[in-house]
Amino acid sequence: MQGGRAFFIARHRYAVQMTPDAQSALAVQIIVGVLVLTYGLVILVIAASWVVMGFALMSLYRKVGVKPWIAWVPYYRTWVWLKLGGQPGWLALLSLLGLGFVASIFLIIGMSRIGQSFRKDAGFLVLGIFLPYVWAFILGGRTSVYEPGLLAWYGQPAPLVGYGSVVADFATDLTAPGWQSPAQAG
């Protein structure tokens, strides 16, 4: 016990005293370090989620007859995703004006329509709302079958891009096997 107390006293006797300016500078350095680390991690998570969502949408777009590279173009991939769900694509630009929640609502409606064309129910839409990359990976998988004709049975409009679209669009992959122009289909 005495040895421990003597060490404690000796340690404080020779401790380095910091001036208030040095303490302030150290505090600022710690705060800046924590902020840089936090922002770095946030940027890393955002970049990782963008890449994962790019691969997920790429698999979905390939399945529905849309050019897969579109999944890597910001805003345009949302534009095409909205059109695939039968919504106007320009709604994707609302997020540039601070109205991203409006675009999200229409995207959820579009996700419901896309799910219907894959014979998925409302429970699958909940997965799409909370984990959209899982939703897109499942729909773009090998076992999922895309049937855009089911939308008419549900009373929904046809998709505006890809297989089953009623108008030709730049995003539609004309080289995909099985694609027919609206003139050939009719």
Asked if residue 77 lies in contact with residue 70, where contact means CB atoms within 8 angstroms, the answer is yes
Instruction: State residue 153's pLDDT score.
Output: 86
Say how many C-beta atoms besides its own lie within 10 A of residue 150's C-beta.
Answer: 15
pLDDT level of residue 179 (50, 70, 90 thresholds):
low
Instruction: State residue 114's pLDDT score.
Output: 93
Instruction: State residue 42's pLDDT score.
Output: 97
Average pLDDT for 139-165:
87
Burial of 71 (0-12, 13-18, 19+ CB in 10 A): buried
d(CA 182, CA 121): 28
Q: Which two tokens stand for residue 41?
A: 């991690």
pLDDT at 23 over 90: no
61-93 per-position pLDDT tens digit: 999 989 999 999 989 999 999 999 989 999 999
Average pLDDT for 18-37:
87
**SS3 category, 104:** helix
Average pLDDT for 144-171:
83
Q: From residue 5, how far is each of 12, 13, 17, 54, 83 by CA, in Å?
A: 11, 12, 21, 62, 75
Instruction: State residue 19's pLDDT score.
Output: 78
pLDDT level of residue 175 (50, 70, 90 thresholds):
low
pLDDT at 178 over 70: no
CB-based contacts of 81, cutoff 8 Å, min separation 6: 57, 92, 107, 110
Instruction: State residue 160's pLDDT score.
Output: 85
Average pLDDT for 147-171:
82
Instruction: State residue 116's pLDDT score.
Output: 92
* Higher-confidence position of 163 and 79: 79
Residue with tokens 């109205």: 99
Residue of 171, 145, 152, 178 lying closest to 82 (CA atoms): 171
Instruction: State residue 22's pLDDT score.
Output: 79
d(CA 84, CA 114): 7
Work out the mean pLDDT of the chain and round it to a whole number.
Answer: 85
pTM of the model: 0.75
